């Protein structure tokens, strides 16, 4: 993975996608199933602490049964080293999930892998001063056979755009008080016990799933999200426009929140 974000396909090896501060955008396809557009940018002269990955295991029959995975993590720490947490979380999840026993449920497989990552980060936070309390959010979508599975912890968000209606599928794990609305109460590495939200459902052709860090959804708000999703742009255009608008807005008011968006359009059943 690079300093910006990562697009990983299995069995292809990892690709270097961007320099430290250059915005990243692109697209990936699963023929007959999905079109995936992605964009990410750091705001200001800082390392992008968002990290994402896409896995399409087309040439691995056993892994392919699990489906296509899309994951986004937003790292945070007191000392600005949150990239460590987000990268470890995405890498471990997308590599180890497909190595879990085939008879395990999706929920058991994800829970096992993420709890292992959580344990490692939590121990490192207590042992290594360089970690400085690093934690990460995580939202993962898994698409297979006309269905989706969703795993979530933190305040990255997942939305579904269906028949002109925007539906938020995730809850923010932050404290309800206004002065603590950015403080995570659940995150990978935050506590020795990790609780993950799970959800599943059917997909329809032309549904668009949006996975976004708070640098996108909080900066832009639902009105802009709906406006962009209602357009006739490709998934790459959707992701790039959302990130571009966030960066422009933050430059006006001296914001510094990394912005990442992944747009996934359902193009078929994938059977």
* Residue 229 within any structural domain of the chain: yes
**CB 220, CB 252: distance < 8 Å:** no
* Residue 10 within any structural domain of the chain: no
**CB 51, CB 1: distance < 8 Å:** yes
Domain count within the chain: 1
- Per-residue pLDDT band for 14 (boundaries 50, 70, 90) equals very low
* Residue 33 within any structural domain of the chain: yes
Predicted confidence (pLDDT) at residue 17 exceeds the cutoff of 80:
no
Average pLDDT over residues 141-151: 96
Mean pLDDT of the residues in the chain: 87
CA geometry: angle 18, 19, 25, nearest 5 deg: 30
What pLDDT, on the 0 to 100 scale, is given for residue 126? 86
Average pLDDT over residues 131-149: 93
Residue 184 backbone phi and psi in degrees, to 5? -75, 135
Alpha carbons 228 and 224: distance in angstroms, whole number? 6
* Residue 200 within any structural domain of the chain: yes
Among the residue ranges 46-50, 78-82, 196-200, 260-264, the one predicted with the least confidence is 78-82
Q: Where are the alpha helices (DSSP H) in the chain?
A: 61-64, 82-96, 106-127, 214-229, 235-252
* Residue 19 within any structural domain of the chain: no
Does the pTM surpass 0.85? The reply is: yes
* Residue 130 within any structural domain of the chain: yes
Instruction: Mark residue 24 as left, alpha or beta (left: phi above 0; alpha: psi -120 to 50; beta: remaining).
Output: beta
Residues 240-271 have pLDDT tens digits of: 999 999 999 999 988 888 999 999 999 987 66
Predicted confidence (pLDDT) at residue 42 exceeds the cutoff of 60:
yes
Residue 163, C-beta contacts closer than 8 angstroms, at least 6 positions apart: none
- Tell me which range, 30-44, 68-82, 153-167, 178-192, is most confidently predicted by mean pLDDT: 153-167
Predicted confidence (pLDDT) at residue 155 exceeds the cutoff of 50:
yes
CATH number at residue 139: 3.60.40.10
* Residue 8 within any structural domain of the chain: no
In this structure, is the dihedral angle defined by the CA atoms of residues 81, 52, 47 and 260, taken in order, positive or negative?
A: negative
**CB 87, CB 49: distance < 8 Å:** no
- 135-136 and 138-144: which strand pairing? unpaired
* Residue 15 within any structural domain of the chain: no
Give me the domain span that covers residue 42.
24-266
């Amino acid at each position: 993975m690079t300093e910006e974000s990562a697009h990983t396909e299995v069995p292809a090896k990892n690709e270097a996608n961007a320099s430290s501060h250059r915005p990243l955008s692109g697209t990936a396809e699963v023929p007959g199933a999905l079109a995936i557009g992605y964009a990410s940018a750091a705001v200001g002269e800082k390392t992008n602490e968002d990290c994402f990955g896409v896995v399409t295991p087309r040439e691995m029959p056993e892994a392919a049964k699990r489906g296509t995975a899309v994951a986004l993590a937003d790292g945070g720490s007191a000392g600005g080293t949150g990239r460590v947490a987000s990268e470890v979380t995405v890498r471990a999840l997308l590599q180890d999930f497909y190595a879990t026993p085939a008879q395990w449920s999706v929920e058991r497989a994800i829970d096992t892998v993420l709890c292992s990552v959580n344990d490692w980060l939590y121990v490192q936070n207590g042992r290594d001063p360089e970690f400085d309390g690093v934690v990460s959010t995580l939202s993962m979508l898994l698409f297979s056979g006309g269905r989706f599975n969703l795993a979530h912890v933190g305040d990255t968000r997942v939305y579904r755009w269906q028949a002109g209606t925007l539906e938020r599928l995730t809850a923010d794990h932050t404290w309800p008080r206004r002065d603590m609305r950015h403080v995570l109460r659940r995150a990978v590495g935050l506590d020795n016990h990790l609780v993950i939200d799970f959800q599943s459902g059917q997909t329809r052709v032309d549904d668009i799933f949006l996975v976004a860090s708070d640098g996108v959804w909080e900066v832009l708000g639902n009105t802009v999200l709906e406006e962009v999703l209602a357009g006739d742009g490709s998934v790459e255009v959707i992701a790039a426009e959302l990130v571009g608008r966030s960066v422009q807005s933050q430059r006006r008011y001296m914001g510094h929140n990394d912005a990442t968006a992944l747009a996934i359009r359902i193009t078929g059943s994938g059977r």
